[in-house]
Structure 1
Amino acid sequence: MLKFLVGVVLVVGAWIAAGLVMVATAAHARPHGELVDVGGRKLRLVCEGPAGAQPAVWLEHGAFGAATDFAAVQQKLSAKGLRSCAYDRAGLGYSDPGPAPRDGDAALADLEALMKAKGDAGPYVLVGHSMAGLHIRRFATAHPDKTLGIVLVDATTPEAIENPRMRKFIGVFKTVVRTGAVAGSLGLTKPFYYWAERIGLPEDRIAEKRRIWVSGRHARGAAAEGVQWERAARQAMAAGPLPKAMPVAVITAGGRGDDSPRAGPAKASERGYFENVPQATHTSVLGLAYGDAVVRGVEHVLKAVQPGSDAGAP
């Protein structure tokens, strides 16, 4: 038994050492963007596109994500002459941790503080990927006067937690994020460095994404908000439904057609838009290959709010 334990320790030690060497010798990643003070702590913000262009598109990343996830989408938005801002939520990427619990109310407060610190009074187009669908729904219902419309990118809806299968999935998800926090803190994720980028990002952002993904600090931040998924969903539902007149674009990946529950917000909107990208995955829908669909969602919102527009679901 002792030999077995010694063997396990040696194997794990070699695994961690290999990962540390891999990361240490990999390409250097200089973080893009700036650190913005939001009241005694800082959040990393990356804004691109013409300075002062309005309205700004604010991008909210999903679970385990960071502002880096939107690098390809921001590049595409800039090419259209649009200003966009993506940020790392508290404890994720390069942002400082925030007070617990890291639920929907906390995410809303941080985004409000960040926008205020940057002097952006809106109105905004909000884009949310995956679990961020909960957060931009929360913001849009709290500030309908500042929200031109929202774009949900393969995003979950708050109502999904009423589904027993979804509640079971969330239970598994919580176990995964807690395990990930421990593994990341011990350095066990470091050897996955070269497999950490599955979005299809611009070349100059790949190393940044990889270093974030294998960071133990990032893993702990992801766990802190991941375990609050159900709480954040209930907070979003309690805030009420989106205004029917608010433009809502829904972009899904893979086999999620317009009969998917994720398409529901577009159907409920009087100015809804739905697009499925069958070749894309949950992550690559944000990348260089398929991110144009996200841009089309933003363009739908902007067109829908123009005076005299009758934009609706295709």
Structure 2
Amino acid sequence: MKPRAQTHRILPIIALLAMASLTACGSGTSSAPPPASQAPTTPTTLRMINNNGHRLAFHVTPGRRPTIVLDAGGGEDSSEWKDIVPKLHAATGSEIITYDRAGMGASDEVPGPWNVQHAVDDLETGLKTLGATSNIILVSHSQAGEIATYFARANPQQLSGAVLVDASLPPLYTNQEISRLVAATKPQLDAAKQNKSSKANRQLIALAESYVPMHRAYHKVTWPTSVPATVIVSEKTPFDGSPTDAQRWRDAATAFAAAGPNRTLITAKGSSHEIPKDRPALILQEIEKLASHT
């Protein structure tokens, strides 16, 4: 697992072009395996799935429905959920699926600008191949909130609900906020372009190339009213060093939660943007609530 500092280095554009200088870099995290007491009772299987000429790594822990799909934040791969998966499986008995988006973890890189519709297609293809096409709870952190929103729009009948974990949500992306984020991260992007041999830098550049038009379009996208959503917003947000942007992030979560029925807003008190690491028990609690009603 990459050092935490590198995660924060590429978080700004991947997770929504937040300024690296505004985001407090965390200390390194241990790559040691979880204690034996947390080991999954059912083995997790790696499935490599082909889609449009590239391979995607899906990790499946068998179980009953609902199927719980965990989608990592920007700059992260499926290992973001490694401590949560065994606990979630033990608590719910559900099938648990995590995966690496294209260019992350064990999945192939895809050349060209990042395209959210392609990311949605990768997820749709993977779940269809695995036979998970109904009674799904989608759990999405940060950038994955964008994939979740488009997935839900296209496949509302497949979802029993979603837990959006400090997710990138449409109300944030006014023209003014997009301009602020692009300007704030220009020095970081320029530096990345000087070293395209780095996989992380290539991913950063790909995301930046499509960022403005993609997020102008995303600002207009709505969540389907038929899909319940629990919105967990961090107290510190990705913009811990910028009160203006932090408030806009929290306001976007509030506006999203208020815009439709069956939506709940929860604040992760004291948490940074990395809620899966800071407040995993809160995420587990909210997933279990949804699972108990399906």
Q: TM-score scaled by structure 1?
A: 0.67
Q: 2:84 aligns with which of 57, 61, 73?
A: 73
Q: Would you identify which runs of 4 or more consecutive aligned residues in structure 1 move more than 6 Å?
A: 26-29
Give the Cα separation in 1 of the matches to 2:260 and 2:113. 31
Structure 1 position 97, deviation (Å): 1.7
Between stretches 229-238 and 109-118, larger displacement belongs to: 229-238
Equivalent residue, structure 2, for 1:93: 105
Equivalent residue, structure 2, for 1:312: none
Structure 1 position 145, deviation (Å): 0.9
Structure 1 position 129, deviation (Å): 0.9
**Percent identity of the aligned residues?**
23
Q: 1:290 aligns with which of 241, 264, 279?
A: 279
**Larger of the two Rg values belongs to structure:** 1
Mapped contact 2:171–2:255 kept (Cα < 8 A)? no
Give the Cα separation in 2 of the matches to 1:56 and 1:157. 23
Higher strand share: 2
Question: What letter matches 1:290 in structure 2?
Answer: R
Q: 2:50 aligns with which of 20, 29, 37?
A: 37
SS at match of 1:33: strand
Equivalent residue, structure 1, for 2:229: 248
Equivalent residue, structure 1, for 2:266: 275
SS at match of 1:56: strand
Give the Cα separation in 2 of the matches to 1:182 and 1:275. 41
1:61 aligns with 2:52: no
Give the Cα separation in 1 of the matches to 2:172 and 2:31. 40
SS at match of 1:145: helix
Structure 1 position 181, deviation (Å): 6.1
Change (3 A) 1:55 1:222: farther
Change (3 A) 1:99 1:261: same
1:164 aligns with 2:146: no
SS at match of 2:109: coil
Equivalent residue, structure 2, for 1:176: 188
Mapped contact 1:77–1:295 kept (Cα < 8 A)? yes
1:228 aligns with 2:241: no
Q: 2:122 aligns with which of 98, 110, 113?
A: 110
Give the Cα separation in 1 of the matches to 2:235 and 2:211. 23
Stretches of structure 1 that go unaligned for 5 or more consecutive residues are 1-25, 186-215, 307-314
1:131 aligns with 2:112: no
CA-to-aligned-CA distance 1:256-297 (integer Å, 9 cap, x gap): 6996322332222321222222222112x112x511111222
Question: What letter matches 1:279 in structure 2?
Answer: G
Aligned residues: 244
Structure 1 position 298, deviation (Å): 1.8
Q: 2:60 aligns with which of 43, 47, 57?
A: 47
Equivalent residue, structure 2, for 1:11: none
Stretches of structure 2 that go unaligned for 5 or more consecutive residues are 1-29, 34-44, 238-246
Question: What letter matches 2:162 in structure 1?
Answer: I
Structure 1 position 180, deviation (Å): 3.8
SS at match of 2:57: strand
Change (3 A) 1:272 1:27: closer
Structure 1 position 237, deviation (Å): 4.6
Structure 1 position 175, deviation (Å): 5.0
Give the Cα separation in 1 of the matches to 2:103 and 2:187. 19
Give the Cα separation in 2 of the matches to 1:180 and 1:98. 18
